[in-house]
Amino acid sequence: MSSNVTNPNPTGPAEVQDLYAVSEGKKHGATREVRPEAAWDKYYTVLRAHGGDAVLNDNWHTNEVFSHVRNNFEGITFAHRTLEAWGAIVQNDHLAYYIAGGRVWVLDLEPAAGKKPRLPGNYGTK
């Protein structure tokens, strides 16, 4: 082997991304590791959930998943860390991607001042 060949794998320490676990969500005991940037209390209201520029099939599965995404995200204010704990990838203050049912859904976001209080007597009803 020639001594002129550079090693593509440096021997220095690998960069490790610090993560922390959150315990938010509907499932008891569910945790997910989240980036430290999500630790701050940034809140977003989901204005619209849609398929982006994807061509969506008009079938039962797509319609059910789309209905689920719309009903559980549109018009609701979430903390940044909650969106990421549920698997959404927040790109910037106005755009996030959420994978459900094998499809990528686009969430149009708007920064919010804080979490809105729930209405009394509205727990567990749809």
Q: What residue spans define the domains of the chain?
A: 41-112
Q: Which of 59, 71, 60, 74 lies closest to 107, judged by CA? A: 74
Query: What's the CA gap between 70 and 97, in Å, rounded?
Result: 13
> What is the chain's pLDDT, residue by residue, as a tens digit (126 residues)?
555 655 555 555 555 545 555 555 555 555 556 566 555 678 999 999 988 877 778 888 888 988 988 998 899 999 888 888 888 999 999 999 998 888 889 999 999 887 765 555 545 444
Bridge partner residues of 22 (DSSP): 32
pTM attached to this predicted model: 0.59
Q: What was the pLDDT predicted at 47? A: 93
Q: Give per-residue pLDDT as tens, 83-109.
A: 888 889 999 999 999 988 888 899 999
Whether 38 and 80 have beta carbons less than 8 Å apart is answered as yes
Q: What was the pLDDT predicted at 126? A: 47
Q: What was the pLDDT predicted at 110? A: 93
Give the side-chain half-sphere CA count within 13 A for 48. 5
Query: What's the CA gap between 107 and 76, in Å, rounded?
Result: 11
Residue type, 57: N
Query: What's the CA gap between 120 and 52, in Å, rounded?
Result: 35
